[in-house]
Each structure stands twice: as C-alpha cells, then as structure tokens.
Amino acid sequence: MPKIVLTDVTKRWDSFYAVDHLDLTIEDCSFVTLLGPSGCGKTTTLRMIAGLETPTSGCIEIGDRVVFDSEKGINVPANKRKIGFLFQNYALWPNMTVYQNIAFGLKNLKTMTKAQIDARVAEVSKLVKIEPFMNRYPAELSGGQQQRVAIARTLAPEPQVIFMDEPLSNLDAKLRLEMRSELQRLHLTTGRTFVYVTHDQMEAMTLASKICLIENGLLQQYDAPLTVYNYPNNLFVADFVGNPSINFVDAEGEQAADGAMNLRILGDHEATLSFKEPLKIEDWREALKKKHEDREAVLAERRKQKKHVEKGNKDTVFKYPVAYVDDVPADDRPVTDRDYVLGIRPEFVKIVEEGGIEGEIYGAMPTGMETTIRVRIGNFLLTGVVFGGVTYAIGEKIRLAFEGTNIMLFDKASGDLVGVGSAEIR
C-alpha cells in the first residue's frame, strides 16, 4: 500500500486559512488520525487528499503518483485516486439490501463478473461480520450494523487508502468502543493505510499509530499517541489530549546551579522540578529564539510572493485554563523569562499520608475502578485520579503531592514545552 506525502499544502478562502502550508507524510500501512477542535482544518485536509476539495497550493502524492500539484496543474479526480471514503452518516441506499449496497460500487466498475462480485461481497461481509443480514434493508439494521455495511462497501473495491470522517460519532458510547476495536482489527487484517478524522481525543489515542494534531490550520504535533500525551509540543496539545484534562499551574522562578527549577506555585508554595534529561534554560531559550527567527524568515519569503495573502485568522499563543474556586482578575503583568506554566496530569496528583501540602476535597466522582477528585488549595483547584474503589467526603482534609517523572514545564510567553521531570512541592 502507498504512503501519502503532502508538501506545502494550503487551502484558504480569501484571507481565511483552513490549512496553512502543511507538510505531512503518512507512512505505508499506518493508521493516522487527524485530530483537533471543530474548524481546525482536519476534515479539509482529509478531503484534499481524497480529491473532494481542491487545495489553493501545494503538492499531494499517493504512492509514486502525484495526484495534485498547483505548479504543474495536476489534479487527479477523486474516482481515479483508488481511495475509499467512509462518511459520518453511513450514506447507505435505503431502497437497497445490504448485498446491493456493498455490490453497488463493484457493479459500477464494470470490470467484474457477477460471480466475482458475489465472491467479493461474501468476503468483505464475513470480514465485518454481517453475513446474516445480506437480504435486509438499512432501516432494519441497528446503527452499528449500518456502520459495518458502510465499512464493507468501502472495502469491497480494494482501495489503496481508506479515509474515514468521524464515522463513529453517531453511535452510542458502548457501540463506539466496540467499533473502535473492530477498526483496529480491520486495519491489521486488510493491511491498508487508514486516515481517520476525529475531534475525540480518546478515539485518536486508542486507534492511531500516529496522531496529527491541527489547530487554526497549523500542524501542532505529529507523533505516536503516547508521545503526544507525555511530551506535548505546547500548551494547546497538552490541554487537548487527556481525559480528565491536564492541570495547569502558573509558576515563577529560575534554574538553580544543579539544573533543577526552583518555582513558586499555588500562591505561596515552593516547588522544585528536576528535569528527566539534563537541560540548560539558556540553551533552550537560544534554540527557541532561532526557531522563531527561522519562522519569521519563512514568512518574510512568502510575503514576497505575488500570490501571497496575509492570514486573517491570526495565530496566537493558547490561552490555557487555570481552575479557581472563585474567579480572579486577569493578570496584566508583562510576561518575563521567569514566568512558566506547570502541566500536571491528573494521574500524577496523589493523596499521601505524609509530606506534600494540605488540601481539601472539593469534589469526588467515583466510577467504580477509579475516583476523579477535585482538590482545593487556597483558591486553586487541582484534578486528580485515584484508582480503586475509594470514596472521599466533600470537605475532607488530605495531603497532596506530585508523583511521576512526566510533570511538564512550559514557557509562558511562547507556550512551548521546556521539559519534563519530577516535582516536589512544599
């Protein structure tokens, strides 16, 4: 199966950039999810690769074939790109049986005999486990069964690449879990390249071999799911991936001689962050400065081009949420090199017998195998996850500490990740 390469692909309407100079390589036989909030450009990206949307500029290759090139005037139609497309609303013919729906595309190819069509329909229906329903109509099937029929119809012509645009969003939670497992199995069984659009980070984490996270038309991170989760490139990525959401805590401080960061957080508490890998803040800031200079140089070159249009939907640093008991006035202080943001995943917020700092249970939500808690520390709120059948009373006094080696430190001015490590709070 082919790999897919997007080179400097842009899609804009007037000054609105839906996709902004995207470079992306989707490897052969991979399962890639295009993830991001509504309006970020993920579906537009999928439609451009499939040939359903024409890019403004750039180049798209599927395998060894260029299917779009704005400079050379190449634009291969969608029906010639050897791809399959699975839609959100199934798009089944209501007046056709399951067999007729699956066979519809094969008959249109006009290259197969009836015996060959029958054999192919039987093969894919067995693959998605819908053999008993071949003579039923879509209205006589459940949502999950209809989705299986749509998957079988997509697989029947043996496409090189399969595109899926939020195909599970119409299903209930239990059925979504079941279908995610089925899609994983189908990916391994068919050996096809899957490209999957979703705004649900849980789907992206559980299905993908790599996640392509997009915001405001820009690629934010393209990595394996656990890399995105544990080493997010910036504040936006850290906030978007993870359930319950990550805790953000404003921090102020500087690096000590031993390499650790001495920080003041949560009002008047002190914390020490020891990086997992050796890191000098001065070197990190130099690298950040060069990255920004390189970015500005690229933008300056683009502005010299005759067809350049300035981006109307401007890119800004993500406004990260900090949880408070009572609202606080906006902080209008100028941001300095001493300002940082700690990112703490809920599973690293631990209740301890000794040490740590004192807090109060503000909310407790047991679900059986785990309990999600909200802990009040002064006017601040932190979310934690306690595994096991544990219950807590609202107002109960506890002691809290941060455990693990993946506590994140972000630069407040740029929003970029500085590093990860272990944190001691006192």
Strand partners, 34: 197, 212
On whether the pTM is more than 0.85, the answer is: yes
Helix (H) / strand (E) element for 383: namely: strand 380-387
Q: Closest Cα partner for 245 from 152, 343, 160?
A: 343
Q: Confirm if 177 and 169 have CB atoms less than 8 A apart.
A: no
| Both tokens assigned to 66 | 């260029």
DSSP assigned state of 426: -
Question: Would you give per-residue pLDDT tens digits along the chain (426 residues)?
Answer: 589 999 999 999 999 999 999 999 999 999 999 999 999 999 999 999 999 999 999 999 999 999 999 999 999 999 899 899 988 888 899 999 999 999 998 888 778 889 999 999 999 999 888 999 999 999 999 888 898 899 899 989 889 899 999 888 877 888 788 888 888 988 988 888 999 999 989 899 999 999 999 999 999 999 999 999 999 999 999 999 999 999 999 999 999 999 999 999 998 899 999 999 999 999 999 999 999 999 999 999 999 998 899 999 999 999 999 999 998 877 788 999 999 999 999 999 999 988 889 999 999 999 888 999 999 999 999 999 998 888 899 999 999 999 999 999 999 999 999 999 999 998
Q: Closest Cα partner for 236 from 375, 73, 36?
A: 36
| Both tokens assigned to 242 | 């993870």
Reading across the β-sheet that carries 210-215, which strands appear in turn?
83-86, 161-165, 193-198, 31-35, 210-215, 218-223
Longest dimension (CA), the chain: 77
| Both tokens assigned to 390 | 């544990």
Q: Closest Cα partner for 82 from 25, 159, 26, 5?
A: 159
Q: Confirm if 86 and 164 have CB atoms less than 8 A apart.
A: yes
Q: Confirm if 384 and 350 have CB atoms less than 8 A apart.
A: yes
Q: Which fold has domain 4-240?
A: Rossmann fold (3.40.50)
Predicted local confidence at residue 390, as pLDDT: 83
| Number of neighbours of residue 321 by Cβ within 10 angstroms | 12
How far is Cα 152 from Cα 416, in angstroms, rounded to an integer?
43
The residue ranges of every structural domain in the chain are: 4-240, 247-308+337-425
Residues in the chain, total = 426
Class of domain 247-308+337-425: mainly beta
How far is Cα 368 from Cα 390, in angstroms, rounded to an integer?
8
Predicted local confidence at residue 15, as pLDDT: 95
Q: How many CA atoms lie within 13 A of 44 on its CB side?
A: 26
Predicted local confidence at residue 1, as pLDDT: 56
Question: For the chain, percent helix, then strand, then coil, each to nearest 5?
Answer: 30, 35, 35
How far is Cα 390 from Cα 394, in angstroms, rounded to an integer?
13
